[in-house]
Structure 1
Amino acid sequence: MNDTKQKTLELAYLILRLTMGVNMLTHGIARMLNLEGFNTWMIGQFSKTILPEFMVSISSYLIPFVELIIGILLILGLFTSRTLLVGALLIVALVFGSGLQENWNIMSSQMIYAIFFFILSYFIELNRYSIDAIREKVELL
């Protein structure tokens, strides 16, 4: 592969990683700004499922912080591989919750997130513009 094509792919990867990072960051921020409201909404959403209210409540307080951290780390390109794994596992949990609610419309959106986490994970070697890449270069010195 020529150098120009490689750089184009690395830039495209950066843009996709940044976009997913901003998406997760803003989800986390928006929910944290109204944490009690998010908790109340989540409890209502899961009221007719098998999940006990205390589990839903714990999840509703954790999800915004996890989203925020995933967003920050993806934007920075720090611990990218592990962050993508955590993000994908979060999506698995959200898909499970949507399935329990029989909320197939939301689940279809979550499946798109799963695809993006897959793409970013599969093409991780293109993660050149990141703190991870800088750390790797420093370790080689």
Structure 2
Amino acid sequence: MTENRTYISLKPKDVAIAYLLLRILIGVNYFNYGFSRIFNIPGFAEETVKELADSYFPEFLVRINSYLVPPVELIVGVLITLGFATRSALIVTFALMIILKLGVTSIQNWGAATSMLSYGIVLFILLAGNSFNIYSLDHWRKKRQNLADSGAGRQQGRVNFFKNNFWIKRRLQHRLPNHNTFK
């Protein structure tokens, strides 16, 4: 008796497309967070200082971080969406999320803290799966660099070929001084 089994496998191109869509989704999310706050950073900072008034963080530290959050969110949002400096942008975003997590847990805002865990999981997936980031500016730049490097290698190979042939001919001429083949 034979069994009909269906084997399911992940296709690399499908994983790469899923990676692209997840990367764009999270990038747009961070971009919009930053964009919606960037034109009112002082207001955002004041609101954050009020929210974290009962935390153990000093006000000046909360204020400094509040001024930095919107531009960082905006920049990493653009970079992640485009897939440019993706790995670095994801690491910076992880650091940002840790700082924000410290703030929300210091005032025991467990709803926000739980929501932030889902961001952490998505960032982990994107960072760990960075090898699937083939639909990105990073991959395009790497391909161009590899082509340029291989072109330079081919050119160097041609130079070495002719240089080596020259020395082979010179050696043969010394061994066969009356031979006219190499002139």
TM-score interval (norm. to shorter): over 0.9
CA distance in 1, matches of 2:64, 2:80: 24
Instruction: Specify the alignment match of 1:91 in structure 2.
Output: 97
1:16: Cα distance to partner? 0.2
1:138: Cα distance to partner? 1.1
1:77: Cα distance to partner? 0.4
Name which of 73, 76, 79 aligns with 2:79: 73
Letter of the 1:20 counterpart: I
Name which of 118, 128, 132 aligns with 2:138: 132
Instruction: Specify the alignment match of 1:48 in structure 2.
Output: 54
Whether 1:37 and 2:49 are equivalent positions in the alignment is: no
Deviations 1:55-107 (A, max 9, x none): 11111110000000000001110111111111111111111111111111100
Q: TM-score scaled to structure 1, two decimals?
A: 0.94
Root-mean-square deviation (Å):
1.1
Higher relative contact order (CA 8 A, sep 6+): 1
CA distance in 1, matches of 2:37, 2:115: 18
Q: Alignment identity in percent?
A: 38
CA distance in 2, matches of 1:6, 1:136: 19
Q: Which runs of 5+ in 1 are unaligned?
A: none
Letter of the 2:40 counterpart: N
Deviations 1:95-129 (A, max 9, x none): 11111111111000111100000000111110000
User: Which of these two proteins has the greater Rg computed from alpha carbons?
Assistant: 2
Q: Which runs of 5+ in 2 are unaligned?
A: 1-9, 148-183
Instruction: Specify the alignment match of 1:7 in structure 2.
Output: 13
What SS does the corresponding residue of 1:49 show, helix, strand or coil?
coil
Q: Which of the pair is proportionally richer in helix? A: 1
1:36: Cα distance to partner? 2.0
Letter of the 2:91 counterpart: L
Name segments (4+ residues, structure 1) moved above 6 Å: none
